[in-house]
Amino acid sequence: MAETAEKLFGTDGVRGRANSWPMTADAVLKLGAAAGRYFRRDGQNRHRVVIGKDTRLSGYMLENALTAGLTSTGMNVLLLGPVPTPAVGFLTRSMRADLGVMISASHNPHHDNGIKFFGPDGFKLSDAAQHEIEALFHGEIAPARPDNIGRAKRIDDGLGRYVEYVKTTFPGQGRLSGLKVVVDCANGAAYRAAPEALWELGAEVIPVGVAPDGFNINRDCGSTHPETAAEAVVRHGADVGISLDGDADRVMIIDENGHVADGDQIMALLARRWKEAGLLRGGALVATVMSNLGLERYLEAEGIGLVRTPVGDRHVVEAMREGGYNLGGEQSGHIVMTDYATTGDGLVAALQFLAAMVDTGARASELVRVFDRVPQVLENVRYGAGGDPLAAAGVRAAIKAGEARLGGQGRLLIRKSGTEPLIRVMGECEDEALLRAVIGEIVAAVQAVA
């Protein structure tokens, strides 16, 4: 089939619309077989894989397809059910699995889904490993002999193991007693884990987005719609709000007045606190090119370095591991703390923020605005299958003209999304009116060819 020649892996695993290639049952079955063949090298039935998922309706279909593919090559499958993405990274290593798989499209709407792979160390697979699996996928995959077919079983205590571990990351002997906390779970993977962990640590918990029905994940809730948690914080008189995304690897923090702090503000706070405590390894924070210029200026003033990477938490983690750094993340709310987790963990990051409140006695509003943001505008333009809008002469000309108008006052970053058919047009400039004019011209040029 012609479609099998298409690139399978994107910036964060495999992703697409449910029941459309590559998120079809037959394609995912073969993907599971390819991954199983890649990891099952010795022909023995000692290999195991843990599979988690979020709350999308298509998760049932894809879970069964993956299980069939993996067991057909001799892998033994442990099914975790709905758990956060970071739980899969943690449990892959904790349960001595050879492979971890998370079925989720993160912050995307319910009709999308995706598959993320974790190696035995709990970190997402390298590009090299993904390329080998993709090569196997496009070829003929040898099945296991009948007596070597793998087994599959449900694991009932995976979620509890993760919750207990998350609680151990709360610094010192502190407790959350006396804090009223809104937690918005986006009707997603953390709908049980997050409220449970917070309550067991002593907080009064007001849960939001904890009634998944297969269709409402991320719908008007979660980190992509933090206004839902903000409204709940104000209405209930809560001390703080935590807004997670569909697979709980992202977080936004809301103060008692309903103001939202993104990943840049959270990372700035943690970087300063960790430096003061002598915990910031490498003396630097790792962030992507999307992080605000205000963050860069703040860190410089605090004597903290900033390592910039391409967009995507995989790039952040790779830079952290290569440079020996232990704190990094993205403006979108991925906060990676390799002392605690192998990938972004929204709940663990939230606990670090709550620890700052407990330690200092400060209100959330005193902690969420660490630095002044340089005006930043981001517009997303959806495009069809007709080609690459960024290759069009009119778009290239608009970008060049925009860069000339901004001069040394700001910067532009125009790129394709790695997870959706979107062109992301971002710019920063102290002169916000000029910035909006430049962004508007580039967006119009992209729309003309999209």
Residues 6+ apart with CB under 8 A from 147: none
Neighbours of 307 (CB within 10 A): 17
3-state secondary structure of 430: coil
| Rounded Cα distance, 104 and 218, in Å | 12
Residue pointed to by tokens 């988690």 = 52
| Rounded Cα distance, 141 and 143, in Å | 6
Contact 78, 70 (CB under 8 A): no
| Displacement of CA 406 from its chain's centroid (Å) | 31
Are β-strands 284-288 and 305-309 bridged in parallel, bridged antiparallel, or unpaired? Answer: parallel
Among residues 58, 104, 106, 291, the one annotated as catalytic is: 106
The H-assigned helical ranges of 328-367 are 346-360
Residues 6+ apart with CB under 8 A from 82: 52, 53, 54, 55, 59, 189, 191, 192, 212
Cα within 13 Å of Cα(98), Cβ side:
18
* Whether residue 106 lies in the annotated active site: yes
Contact 330, 426 (CB under 8 A): no
Residues 6+ apart with CB under 8 A from 285: 267, 268, 271, 299, 304, 305, 306, 307, 325, 327, 328
Residues recorded for the chain? 450
User: What residues are labeled active site?
Assistant: 106
